[in-house]
């Protein structure tokens, strides 16, 4: 990276900061309207459509796209793939910020933030799937915080606390994988109670498995995508190890994503057969389902495979974008497009511009925090005092 580019990144009045400032100001204004005027002031939600974009994108997509933390940690610390070690801290940071912002986004939808702990300590509903999701997300967010803490502690110079946190790595990784398996699948289980509302092509008794498998796809693709952006904007912060291992991470995660996508395609087809829903493919919803299945599952699986075989890093990186869009499309289809599919079009939900504004605001907060942390803490490089420890 040139000195001019570095200087531009360090300048306060650059394009990113200006755009971020505009988004934050608008987001804070909408936040004020939301918490003073209620949901009706900023959303198009109703009794027929109680879940909108804040659930489909901010929650369902957010949790899936933050799965890179447990996927990468499991690969490195449980399966011994040490060649991907440089991807762990960026993935864990992305996961920690992702889950933190999911909790923040939930406050806009639910309101009354001070009552967030109620399901855990006051009105426990231990037979509820949503209780299990909330409990697992709360615990896993704590796990991610401890997994991320060594970088912050190295930055602060707290060696003893850092060494203690590092000793917990294997235990935290195992705990994180178990918790992620539970709540990623349980988000799909939330829709099992709505067979009459969710279109038969998307409704399936296997939907918890679908959600878990797609979280792995999202995690692998997000690591590739995040690595690409980091090398584009933060290459000046990276050490030789991170720069040298980048191509191997892209190829390795692309190969894994190709296999998982192919497996996901197979079980989706099996799901249609098990439900005997082939006739629905002739309808308009069937056409849209095929767009998702072929264009955003089969196609990225093929492109990933070709990219890995040809060692075409550019193809793999662009395919990661397609795969991520496929995960987002799937969550939107399940939560919005195919939900309440029998309602007349006049009663269907479409998000208010302020709902979209809040979602953009939350994403921008994540970008600001990632930029702040990545440029100050040892995320994209090994701290000089701990190089041997890595």
Res 9: pLDDT? 52
**Two tokens, residue 247:** 């191509």
Put simply, whether the predicted model's pTM sits higher than 0.85 gets the answer yes
Is residue 2 pLDDT above 50, yes or no?
no
The model's pLDDT over 46-68, given as tens digits with 9 standing for 90+, comes to 888 888 999 999 999 999 999 99
Is residue 141 pLDDT above 80, yes or no?
yes
Place of tokens 């933390």: 69
| Band of pLDDT at residue 4, cut at 50, 70 and 90 | very low
* Mean pLDDT, residues 2-16 taken together: 61
The model's pLDDT over 164-175, given as tens digits with 9 standing for 90+, comes to 999 999 999 999
Res 8: pLDDT? 47
Res 180: pLDDT? 93
* Mean pLDDT, residues 346-363 taken together: 94
The model's pLDDT over 126-138, given as tens digits with 9 standing for 90+, comes to 778 888 888 899 9
Res 7: pLDDT? 47
* Mean pLDDT, residues 29-45 taken together: 94
In a domain, 6, yes or no: no
**Two tokens, residue 259:** 């296999």
* Total tally of structural domains belonging to the chain: 1
User: Is 293 exposed, middle or buried, given 0-12, 13-18 or 19+ CB atoms closer than 10 A?
Assistant: buried
CA-based R_g, the chain, Å: 21
Bridge partners, 339 (sequence order): 198
Give the structural domain span for 369. Answer: 16-382
Q: Distance between CA 54 and CA 105 in Å, rounded?
A: 7
Provide the percentage of residues in the chain whose pLDDT is more than 90: 78
Any idea what the CATH number is for the domain that residue 273 is in?
1.20.1630.10
In a domain, 4, yes or no: no
In a domain, 113, yes or no: yes
In a domain, 240, yes or no: yes
* Mean pLDDT, residues 326-338 taken together: 96
Is residue 3 pLDDT above 80, yes or no?
no
HSE (side-chain half, CA atoms, 13 Å) at 112: 5
Res 36: pLDDT? 93
**Two tokens, residue 148:** 């991320």
In a domain, 164, yes or no: yes
φ, ψ for residue 358, nearest 5 deg: -65, -40
* Mean pLDDT, residues 351-375 taken together: 96
| Band of pLDDT at residue 115, cut at 50, 70 and 90 | confident
Is residue 1 pLDDT above 70, yes or no?
no
Is residue 39 pLDDT above 70, yes or no?
yes
* Mean pLDDT, residues 307-318 taken together: 97
* Mean pLDDT, residues 38-52 taken together: 91
Is residue 243 pLDDT above 70, yes or no?
yes
SS3 string, the chain, reads CCHHHHHHHHCCCCHHHHHHHHHHHHHHHHHHHHHHHCHHHCCCCCCCCCCCHHHHHHHHHHHHHCCHHHHHHHHHHHCCCHHHHHHHHHHHHHHHHHHHHHHHHHHHHHCCHHHCCHHHHCCCCCCCHHHHHHHHHHHHHHHHHHHHHHHHHHHHCCHHHHHHHHHCHHHHHHHHHHHHHHHHHHHHHHHHHCCCCECCCCCCCCHHHHHHHHHHHHHHHHHHHHHHHHHHHCHHHCCHHHHHHHHHHHHHHHHHHHHHHHHHHHHHHHHHHHCCCHHHHHCHHHHHHHHHHHHHHHHHHHHHHHHHHHCCHHHHHHHHHHHHHHHHHHHHHHHHHCECCCCCHHHCCCCCHHHHHHHHHHHHHHHHHHHHHHCCCCCCCCCHHHCCCC
In a domain, 388, yes or no: no
Cβ contact 217:325 at 8 Å:
no
The model's pLDDT over 84-97, given as tens digits with 9 standing for 90+, comes to 999 999 999 999 99
């Amino acid at each position: 990276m040139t000195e001019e580019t570095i200087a531009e990144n360090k300048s306060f009045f650059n394009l990113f900061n200006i755009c971020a400032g505009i988004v934050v100001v608008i987001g804070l204004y909408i936040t004020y309207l939301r918490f003073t005027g209620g949901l009706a002031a900023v959303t198009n939600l109703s009794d027929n459509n109680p879940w909108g974009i804040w659930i489909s994108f901010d929650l369902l997509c957010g949790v899936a796209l933050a799965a890179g933390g447990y996927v990468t940690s499991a690969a490195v610390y449980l399966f011994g793939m040490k060649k991907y070690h440089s991807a762990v801290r960026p993935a864990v940071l992305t996961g920690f910020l992702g889950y933190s912002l999911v909790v923040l986004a939930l406050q806009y939808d639910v309101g009354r933030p001070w009552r967030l702990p109620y399901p855990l300590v006051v009105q426990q509903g231990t037979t509820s799937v949503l209780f299990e999701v909330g409990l697992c997300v709360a615990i896993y967010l704590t796990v991610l915080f401890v997994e991320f803490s060594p970088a912050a502690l190295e930055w602060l110079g707290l060696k003893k606390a850092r060494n203690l946190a590092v000793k917990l790595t294997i235990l935290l990784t195992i705990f994180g994988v178990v918790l992620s398996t539970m709540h990623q699948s349980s988000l799909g289980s939330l829709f099992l109670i709505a067979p009459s509302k969710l279109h038969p092509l998307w409704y399936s008794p296997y939907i918890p498995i679908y959600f878990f498998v797609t979280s792995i796809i999202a995690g692998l693709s997000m690591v590739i995508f995040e690595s690409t952006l980091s090398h584009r904007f933060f290459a000046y912060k990276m050490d030789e190890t991170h720069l040298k291992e980048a191509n191997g991470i892209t190829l390795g995660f692309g190969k894994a994503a190709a296999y998982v996508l192919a497996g996901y395609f197979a079980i989706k087809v099996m799901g249609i057969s098990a439900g005997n829903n082939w006739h629905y493919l002739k309808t308009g919803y069937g056409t849209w389902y095929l767009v998702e299945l072929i264009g955003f599952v089969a196609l990225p699986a093929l492109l990933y495979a070709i990219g890995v075989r040809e060692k075409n890093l550019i193809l793999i990186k662009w395919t990661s974008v397609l795969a991520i869009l496929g995960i987002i499309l799937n969550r939107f289809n399940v939560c919005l497009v195919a939900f309440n599919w029998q309602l007349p079009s006049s009663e269907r939900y479409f998000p208010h511009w302020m709902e979209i504004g809040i979602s953009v605001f939350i994403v921008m907060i994540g970008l600001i925090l990632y930029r702040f942390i990545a440029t100050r803490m040892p995320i994209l490089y090994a701290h000089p005092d701990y190089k041997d420890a890595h």
